[in-house]
Amino acid sequence: MNINAVLPWQQNIWQLLLQSRARQAMPHAFIFSGLSGVGKLHFTQAVSAWLLCQQPTDSGACGECKSCQLWQAESHPDYRFLQATTDEKTGKTSRVIKVDQVRELVGFLNKSAQLNGYRVAVIQPADILNHNAANSLLKTLEEPGAQTAIILLTDQPLALLPTIRSRCQQFTVSVPSTQQAKEWLLPQLKNPAQADLLLRLSENAPLAALALQESAGFQCRAELAQSMVAVVERKASPLQIAQQWQKNLKPEELLPSLQLLLADALLSALGQDSAIKNSDLLPIIRVLGQRLSRTRLLELHSDCVESQRLVAANIQANLLLDNFWQRLQ
């Protein structure tokens, strides 16, 4: 993907931005929201490069000017990307974007652009700005300097403060049609026969589907489902299975796969096999749906959702997973 490539399902938003710039009425602050994996960050990068470009075109950044060369070298002086910090010693990523980070960003935005064009700041994901950080951003959102663009990315726009939402132009990056998603995805897959399955598992979000193809969680689904059945039927020790999967997959890879398998098992128990996402695993999904009550399936599914939240908050996952496998029996 080059810096000019706006994805096909993003053309409607792109056309709106082209019209705004032609009228010299570009918003100074944007919120790009939508399902994870629909290409919000990719679109933001295309928009950022286009705003910074010294010879912008209707199709995006020119790719040749000094600004584009700096962009492609990832060293543009008038661009900042703000995200949660990772501790160098522990390797843990903060749950929030902190006020000091925003103050530093505001200082950058208050300076003149080195290339005499736009200054662009991207915050990803904006919904993890802590309260003080969000409040520190308000004045800049309300009174930005000339040729300033602040782009907030989020999967959860309602998690942003109302005072932030009211100061930004909001755009929803929609999920493409199945046909559009498949046409984009097929040429990029190692195994095109998996396109339909990948799109089902990723809620039709093409970039999520592409990433899923390479994920360990996707590749181990059948083995994981078999382990679940073995524990349910008391043919395997929950503790041994827990230890096995702790070696095979990281919690952030394991838990989403468990959650999807449980959701599918519940659909099967409700007689809705046609809605199952792991359709290639239908026989073993049916076994889970038959062996576990609907109440237990709902409880276990809720456990997986909560465990993912705790793992994202850097809570130790091993005990959570040990408890899950024991409850499965």
Q: What is the domain-level CATH number for residue 87? A: 3.40.50.300
252: CATH: 1.20.272.10
Same domain, yes or no, for 226 and 321?
yes
Kindly give, in sequence order, each residue whose CB lies less than 8 Å from that of residue 254, ignoring residues fewer than 6 positions away.
217, 224, 245, 248, 321
In a domain, 72, yes or no: yes
Q: What's the mean pLDDT when you consider all of the chain?
A: 93
Answer with the one of 119, 145, 175 that is the final residue of a domain.
175
Average pLDDT of the segment spanning 73-81: 97
Same domain, yes or no, for 171 and 305?
no
In a domain, 188, yes or no: no
Answer with the one of 175, 203, 228 that is the final residue of a domain.
175
Report residue 264 as tokens: 């599918």
Average pLDDT of the segment spanning 51-66: 95
Average pLDDT of the segment spanning 99-104: 96
Of 249 and 43, the structure prediction assigns the larger pLDDT to 43
> Counting every residue, how long is the chain?
329
Residue 202: burial class (beta carbons within 10 Å; 0-12, 13-18, 19+): buried
In a domain, 193, yes or no: no
Same domain, yes or no, for 162 and 241?
no
In a domain, 2, yes or no: no
| pLDDT band at residue 1 using 50, 70 and 90 as cut-offs | very low
Same domain, yes or no, for 226 and 163?
no
Residue 72: burial class (beta carbons within 10 Å; 0-12, 13-18, 19+): middle
In a domain, 136, yes or no: yes
CB 133 within 8 A of CB 98: yes
In a domain, 181, yes or no: no
Answer with the one of 117, 146, 175 that is the final residue of a domain.
175
Spacing of C-alpha 33 from chain mean position: 10
pLDDT tens, residue by residue, 2-31: 566 899 999 999 999 999 999 999 999 999
Report residue 85 as tokens: 């910090």
Same domain, yes or no, for 169 and 220?
no
Same domain, yes or no, for 20 and 90?
yes
Same domain, yes or no, for 171 and 221?
no
Best CA proximity match to 314, nearest among 85, 11, 2: 85
Same domain, yes or no, for 165 and 306?
no
Query: Which residues does residue 79 pair with via DSSP β-bridges, in sequence order?
Result: 120
In a domain, 209, yes or no: no
Residue with tokens 């403060």: 161
pLDDT tens, residue by residue, 198-243: 999 999 999 999 999 999 999 999 999 999 999 999 999 999 999 9
pLDDT at residue number 316: 72
pLDDT at residue number 2: 54
Kindly give, in sequence order, each residue whose CB lies less than 8 Å from that of residue 230, ignoring residues fewer than 6 positions away.
236, 241
If one counts the domains in the chain, the total is 2
In a domain, 195, yes or no: no
CA angle 85, 112, 123 (to 5 degrees): 25
Same domain, yes or no, for 164 and 89?
yes
Give Cα separations from 175 to 36, 58, 205 (angstroms).
10, 23, 6
Tell me the residue range of the domain where 125 lies.
8-175
Same domain, yes or no, for 99 and 171?
yes
CB 221 within 8 A of CB 278: yes
Same domain, yes or no, for 223 and 159?
no
Same domain, yes or no, for 149 and 27?
yes
pLDDT tens, residue by residue, 264-319: 999 999 999 999 999 999 999 999 999 999 999 999 999 999 888 888 776 777 78
pLDDT tens, residue by residue, 136-195: 999 999 988 889 999 999 999 999 999 999 999 999 999 999 999 999 999 999 999 999
- Return the number of other C-beta atoms located less than 10 Å from residue 171's C-beta: 21
DSSP 246-307: HHHS-HHHHHHHHHHHHHHHHHHHTT-GGG-S-GGGHHHHHHHHHHS-HHHHHHHHHHHHHH
